[in-house]
Every structure is written in structure tokens, then in C-alpha cells.
Amino acid sequence: MFERIADRIKRNGFNAFTSVISAGLYFDGTQHGELFPCVHVSVNVRDVDYNRRPIEKAIKAATRNLDGVTFKQLNHNPYYYSYYIARRVDFERADELNKKSRTFLEGFWQAIHEHGDAARANNAALAIDAGHAAMVAAGMIGG
């Protein structure tokens, strides 16, 4: 399905390729996170005279009649318009996983900053415990 979407968008003159969205990545002794299939569309803003509409029109045409498939614009580069096209449920799952990993990582790195000896001693147990505590406090995991 995603290869066909990419091909349809390419026929409109835009760069599109199949890829994956990584979500919820963090390591606490176990690698957490998931990968979701998607299409990544990336277009130089000058190629469309700073107008997103032709890109979004091509994406909508390529995904027409595909229930549950949608797109999101990424805002990470001022010189390119970038989009992910994926299943709606995968975007929702990715958002949920990313909230969890951000919470863990904020607690983890805060502990490293507060207890620099943990980083220097290469002992991340304190930081991992702080990451888990942040997730418990946010109601994301049980205590």
C-alpha cells in the first residue's frame, strides 16, 4: 500500500519514499519503542514557490479511498516541506509512545544533571530509576 502511495506522489513530481516512523524510543536495560511503516514526502520550498497546497493535493489524491490513512506535516527544516503518511492508528500509537519516552527521558536526564557523579561513574541506575519514577508520577506505569 505505501509503495503505491509513494509512486502516485512521485508521478506528481514530488520526492516520496517508503520509510518508518520511530516512536517511543528509550533504553532502561531494555530497548523500548516501535517502528511504523509510512511514506515520507520531502519537497524543497522553492520547488513549489513556498506553496504547500500542490503537495497536500497530491498526498490527498494518493490516499483517496484508503480508509484510516492520513498525513502529518513535519516542521523540522525551514527549507523543505516534509510530511509523513501513515495509518491514523499508527500516528495515535506513536504519539502515545512518544509521550511515555519523553517522560522517561526527562526524568532520566534531570537525574544526570542533578547527580553528575552518576554519569561520570557510568552508573545510570539512579537515572533509570528517576525516569521510571517520572512515568509513575505521570500515571503511565504502575508504581
Per-block mean pLDDT, blocks of 10 residues, the chain (143 long): 97 97 95 98 96 97 96 91 98 97 94 74 79 93 81
Give the pLDDT score at 48: 96
Residue 120 has what pLDDT? 61
**Structural domains of the chain sorted by starting position, each given as residue range(s) with its CATH number in brackets:** 2-98 (3.10.28)
Residue 6: per-residue pLDDT: 98
Strand order in the sheet with 80-87: 15-27, 31-44, 80-87, 69-74
Residue of 86, 89, 58 whose CA lies nearest to 1: 86
Instruction: Give the pLDDT of residue 113.
Output: 84
| Interaxial angle between packed helices 125-137 and 88-114, expressed in degrees from 0 to 180 and rounded to the nearest 10 | 130
The pLDDT assigned to 69 comes to 98
How open is the CA angle 119-122-127, to the nearest 5 degrees? 55
- CA 130 vs. chain centroid, Å, equals 24
pLDDT for position 124: 80
What's residue 100's pLDDT? 96
Give dist(CA 2, CA 86) in Å, integer: 8
pTM of the model: 0.87
